[in-house]
Amino acid sequence: MHVDCVADHYKRYSGEPVILFVRVTLHTLVDKLRVAIELPAQFVLEQMHTPSQWPQLAADLERVGDLVSVAWESPQNVSAGVYEFTVQGAATPIAMQADEPEHELRFAAEARIMHADWTYWSHEGVSIAIINHARYLRYLPSLYRDDETMGRFLMLFESFWRPIEQQIDHIDDALDPRMTPSALLPWLASWVDMKLDSNWDEDKQRRLLRACVALYRRRGTYNGLKEFLEIYTGVVPNIIEHRASNMRLRSNAILGQGIAIGRNNVPNGLTIQLRLPGLPEAEATLRRQIIESIIEAEKPAHATYRLLIEESAPASTTTQIPTTS
């Protein structure tokens, strides 16, 4: 058995709602289960919700010193499973100095199992910082710092602007392909003149954005094409570069328009081999089109290529369709 205790917010202004979630996970059948949540005296309890398995389960409230205990005792023979409890309320203003605008309230959840002749318990707690005075008071003359009305008035503006300040403080996360929200990926790609393919999954788009500068530097090269294809397909391609063969010039050689030198020559040609998992026909066709578009964009402009895709599954539908451009 173990207990998980989390809150919907870990920093709130006094009077704002706070929801505490407690989850008890049982791995085996037990005789009886008791769940208790300790709340600070400054917390005003408003609502409680019991697990769906026990919709009518009543709670016992008890005040012990500066704490308020809310406890539930389940019926006997509790089966293995997950049981969730919820407590909702708000913190009242806390008496403290104006130069200490925050005060942490400690919430603790405990679950106890009474099983035959033994007792087992588990607990976990969380701390929530309650903001009682506006931080903006520190920027005013000392005359106003003990003014409760001024402090609450400034808290209104602080609550409006704080989310904006947090976005500004963490603007670097929005510019990091690993951290930026998925909705911002196309916007971030536009900064480097790149248009993301909507058919790519999010992980591949993020990897591509992280590697885009290095790929731009190597565009039109063997290594650049190889890395780009690896990002999309997840496998390392085998790229064979072709050069002229059987080329001989003798004293009686005649050169002119329409004369080819050697046999079976494909100068400036590439053969690109990929071994990929099998897909349904429509998806395989789309995948091939994307791979071809990558090759067209990344290969040397004067080079031709032949693409060979071998599908590893299902084994009976292995395909090798050459395409020459």
pLDDT digits (tens, 9 = 90+) for 277-299: 888 888 888 889 889 988 988 88
Which of 18-27, 31-40, 70-79, 238-247 is predicted most confidently?
Answer: 18-27
Give the integer Cα–Cα distance in Å for 167 and 163: 6
Give the integer Cα–Cα distance in Å for 271 and 96: 74
* Cβ(71)–Cβ(34) below 8 Å: yes
pLDDT of residue 101: 53
As a whole number, mean pLDDT of residues 261-276 equals 73
pLDDT of residue 220: 85
Which among 102, 103, 89 has a CA at the least distance from the CA of 7? 89
pLDDT of residue 279: 86
65 sits in the region (left: phi over 0; alpha: psi -120 to 50; else beta) called: left
Which of 13-17, 193-197, 292-296 is predicted most confidently?
Answer: 292-296
Question: Which tokens go with 184?
Answer: 């911002």
In this prediction, residue 77 has a pLDDT band, given cuts at 50, 70 and 90, of confident
Q: What is the pLDDT of residues 111-168, one digit of tens each?
A: 565 555 556 677 787 888 877 767 777 778 877 777 777 777 887 787 778 778 777 8
Dihedral angle over CA of 293, 295, 301, 302, nearest 10: -120
Question: Which tokens go with 125?
Answer: 């707690």
Question: Which tokens go with 49?
Answer: 């919700």
Question: Which tokens go with 235?
Answer: 């496998």
Which among 38, 51, 60 has a CA at the least distance from the CA of 78? 51
Q: What is the pLDDT of residues 90-100, one digit of tens each?
A: 877 665 554 55
How big is the CA angle at 19 (ends 18 and 21), to the nearest 5 degrees? 150
